[in-house]
Structure 1
Amino acid sequence: MKRRSFLVSGSLSAFFSGINFGFGSHKEGAQNKLPIDFGPPPPITDRLYQGPFINYGPAANVPGSDVVMTTTPATGHVRNFGMGLVTYICDEVGPPKPKYGSLRNTIEKLAKWELGDVLYIRVDWRDIQKEPGKLEFPEHWNLTFEMAKKYGKRVAFRIQLMSPVISPQSMPDFLNGKVPMVKLGTTDQIGIPGKVHYAPRYDHPEFMKAFKEMDDLLAEKYNGHELLEYVDTCMYGFWGEGHTWPFEGSPLPDYYIARDTFLEIFGHQAINWSKTPLTTNTQPDYNLVGNAEVLENTIRSYNWLRTDTIFIENEQIDVLSNRPSWIGATIEQGITKSNTEDLRMVDDLMRNENIIAHVKDVGPNYFSLWNWHDIALENLLSYYEKYPKALNDLSQNIGYRVRPSWIWSFEKEGYLGLVLGLVNDGIAGIPGALRIHVRDAAQTFEVSGSLDPGYPLPGKVRQAVIMLPIGTPWEGLRLNPVLEIKGVRRPIKWACAQELEEDGTLILKRNL
């Protein structure tokens, strides 16, 4: 079965009021309204002054500033929240099925692999809930969190409300007979060959009640969890990706009911996951269920984007490429093993190399380390050990890689100040806001503040000034970056070649 071997054609009501996003629903017809109004960036506190900076004359605000220190790009793997390579532990056909050894050993080998930063699990609703009011997680779920903690990785997951590759359905059995199921038909183009596909009435009160309870329980346990990176938005249809191709239409009575249903589902998640980013699929609205509106609300609420392909719809490429700089994005694309027939060489270019080159073109924060429905470290290594360059290169520029390229010192009215020339050697903006913290070794003071969300942009310089307490010399001070997403602040590491402390701190010293 080819998971996505097709080309397709085509609450928060007050918070989201007045949206005119410009994606255009497929019900009303696609619109081209670039530049798109994405709405304001996420709010920040104690914004740092970010220029203009003037060295000379009566208008000088950084008088006589002089470069005293520089940094250069890191060449190796940098692991930070909000970026990285995603090792798949479980996809829609279930956890790894080891030929030798235990499930624990199989998952531990995947988690331990140094190239991966995030561990990803995709399960059906029925896998985590057997009865109302209670969640029960499968072994591979618990092992994933255990191994993430053990090896310094993080976790992302999706709960599927519907899947074409399991029988009978993704819903828990306790909803049988309570939620009407609408027959879609039979197809061998997707899912289990010969399976009769049914879709639930997502708008039915019993479905909505049970879904909201499940999401409440899940968020109560994991919203803001120290190991959790992001959660996929629950969307309509197969795999929760927003479609039931090749079946046209949806099980809901009309477009407007479908749209409002999935806006309600998203709105509930957006409230619940107040500290952890949601990632919404950029799937075109083939089945007319309001995907464009859900996508609008995703960005307006400072949640993120994802796609399950890099070679299908041009619409997805457009949305990912032109997202606001403060919005993260993850790309899922299966990579092949090293068998000659799998490499799919065209014009002396392997399929995986072609994929990775196009992944870079849209500037994502994450990319999948995943063999289609055949999860095992041995399968990933069969390609990587023979052809490491493409994945190594990607691991060294995916997401953001920020550093203080220039550090100027100046004196004004008896106070010393620093101007930081911050650069981003990655391919994505900051998926939130970058904060700068300066303190002395004895921790007698700390000065901090925030850059504008999304900055510094890739290939650009963003300057910011830090004023020090009077009488404080700059040499020996400790400079730390912190990433703020949805009000949660997480320490990160500079991506520079210069030596850092174990916690990612840069000690300021004259090196120019």
Structure 2
Amino acid sequence: MTTLPSDAPVHNFGMGLTAYIIGDLLPKRKGIETVRDTIEKIVQIPMASKLYIRPTWRQMQSQRGRLDMFEHWQVTLELAEKYNKPVGFRIMLANPDIAEESLPDFVLDNVPMQRLGQGWASDEVSDPSEIRTRKEHHIPYYHHPYFLEALDEFDALLAEKYNGHACIEYMDTYMHGFWGEGHTWPYELVSPFPDQQTGVETWIRIFEMQRRHWTKTPLVTNLQPDISQVGNDELVRRTLAAGEWLRSDTIFIEPQQIELAGVRPPQVAFISEVGMSDGLPESLRLDNGLPHTENIIAHVRDVGANYWSLWNWHNIHAEHVLNYYHQYPAGIDGLNRVIGYRLRPAWIWVCGNQTESVLIVGLANDGISNVPGIVRLTLLDQKGHPVSEATLEAGHPIPHQVRLAHLKLPAGVEWIGMSLKAELIVKGVNHPIRWACREPVNSDGSLTLKHSMI
């Protein structure tokens, strides 16, 4: 039997185009829209199979010992379940783009704050009315015992509720400074730590705390170069050693980030966050007749991303994504048909004799990224009972290579009519894989085996 690659988008765990509910700012409500109306329109963006939300700690907790998540979070999780679009998220400990504090009052009342400075670098701000240009910026003494204790308690409460939750795709690691990206540029020379070693040790402690709590949900570390000297490189090293995932918010600058994304271990997913045009003439940034967003998409493909952001930066609304898409659908549609991993049993052979036989599956990956975990194949009889299983090496098959898997067949059992199912195992959790083949697949994503004309 053989299969052909599918031309349609395939939605599996560990991949997909991602609609942003919150990036740095809340989504823009239009007219008489309620919060739910605005979020539901974003969730319904047809190209998006995943969602992302980036609230502050303050928006998720107002007093110790319990969670009291704000409306945007609650609505997002409800709609994620309704539309079957899982959520990635980050909890920001400092957001320079909002007027309100990022930390709960109980933290602010007990932890000293480090003043960084006033305003922002003029060459990095296109709109002088942005809050960051007039705000006085502070970050906490992350190493303060009260801060570490309160964050540990908060993260444990989050994990108790959402670790391994069906609606949660991944969680970003906590990192230093603005937006939790791992820096305080343009104030990178101002530090809340008494010395560099304390900063590095503090962030290692926070990282290991988070890994201790989130045993089932992938953690994602930003590839920010360590300009604030707080141990980012060590966090990335530990992330890779643990088989957790990576992300970047650039696709053109900082060669270090691009290289690390491109040479990551095969089982490590890469999340690309780069803002796109809203379709208005001033945001298209045409070059040789093509919008800048098309250049972004091409380079997202170059690094073999698992995810890419459908995100208008500080101008989030479904209409803005769709306004661009309706003018230039080819780039986004093309990326949606290749992003992540796209597995199919390209060849299926049966070898053996009357007493012993084996079904050999030649697995192909027609996507642009490796598989962010371990693939397990299960052969099912016509009643759905497992007959045989095989697992592949973590991260395989990689694109443009074929991996063989051997599944034993009971003596005298006919393989025609059996089903071949695939699962992705990440941190001990099994996620069903829908085969990315042109041939019809079953409702659970499996493929019923039959003879092919060859």
Structure 2 counterpart of 1:57:
none
What's the offset of the Cα at 1:103?
A: 1.6
Q: 1:115-154 counterparts in 2 under 5 A?
A: 115-154=47-86
| C-alpha distance in 2 between matches for 1:115 and 1:80 | 14
| C-alpha distance in 2 between matches for 1:100 and 1:172 | 30
What's the offset of the Cα at 1:157?
A: 0.8
Q: 1:64-463 counterparts in 2 under 5 A?
A: 69-189=1-121, 192-249=132-189, 250-412=191-353, 414-463=355-404
| C-alpha distance in 1 between matches for 2:71 and 2:201 | 36
Q: Compute the RMSD of aligned alpha carbons.
A: 1.2
What's the offset of the Cα at 1:313?
A: 0.7
| C-alpha distance in 2 between matches for 1:284 and 1:74 | 38
Q: Secondary structure at the match of 1:261?
A: helix
| C-alpha distance in 1 between matches for 2:40 and 2:115 | 40
Contact 2:354–2:412 (Cα < 8 Å) also in 1: no
| C-alpha distance in 2 between matches for 1:377 and 1:248 | 34
Cα deviations by residue, 1:334-362 (Å, 9 ceiling, x for unpaired): 10022222111112221010000011110
| C-alpha distance in 1 between matches for 2:90 and 2:25 | 13
5+ residue gaps, structure 2, are 126-130
| C-alpha distance in 1 between matches for 2:26 and 2:40 | 16
Percent identity between the two aligned chains: 46
| C-alpha distance in 1 between matches for 2:115 and 2:223 | 26
Cα deviations by residue, 1:173-214 (Å, 9 ceiling, x for unpaired): 112231011111113226621211111100000000010001
| C-alpha distance in 2 between matches for 1:114 and 1:159 | 26
Q: Secondary structure at the match of 1:206?
A: helix
Contact 1:305–1:320 (Cα < 8 Å) also in 2: yes
5+ residue gaps, structure 1, are 1-68
Structure 2 counterpart of 1:469:
410
Structure 2 residue 443 is matched with structure 1 residue 511: no
| C-alpha distance in 2 between matches for 1:458 and 1:239 | 33
Cα deviations by residue, 1:283-315 (Å, 9 ceiling, x for unpaired): 000110000001111111111000111122111
| C-alpha distance in 1 between matches for 2:213 and 2:359 | 40
| C-alpha distance in 2 between matches for 1:207 and 1:306 | 26
What's the offset of the Cα at 1:162?
A: 1.0
Structure 1 counterpart of 2:128:
none
TM-score (norm 2): 0.96
Cα deviations by residue, 1:460-508 (Å, 9 ceiling, x for unpaired): 1011111111221111110011000011111110000001111111000
Structure 2 counterpart of 1:500:
441
| C-alpha distance in 2 between matches for 1:233 and 1:214 | 14
| C-alpha distance in 2 between matches for 1:443 and 1:290 | 50
Q: Residues 445 and 185 (structure 1 numbering): CA distance in 2 closer, same or farther, change over 3 Å?
A: closer
| C-alpha distance in 1 between matches for 2:170 and 2:26 | 20
Count of aligned positions: 444
| C-alpha distance in 1 between matches for 2:336 and 2:377 | 25
Contact 2:27–2:317 (Cα < 8 Å) also in 1: no
| C-alpha distance in 2 between matches for 1:278 and 1:298 | 8
What's the offset of the Cα at 1:255?
A: 1.1
| C-alpha distance in 1 between matches for 2:385 and 2:241 | 40
Contact 2:388–2:407 (Cα < 8 Å) also in 1: yes
Contact 1:255–1:288 (Cα < 8 Å) also in 2: yes
| C-alpha distance in 1 between matches for 2:251 and 2:367 | 19
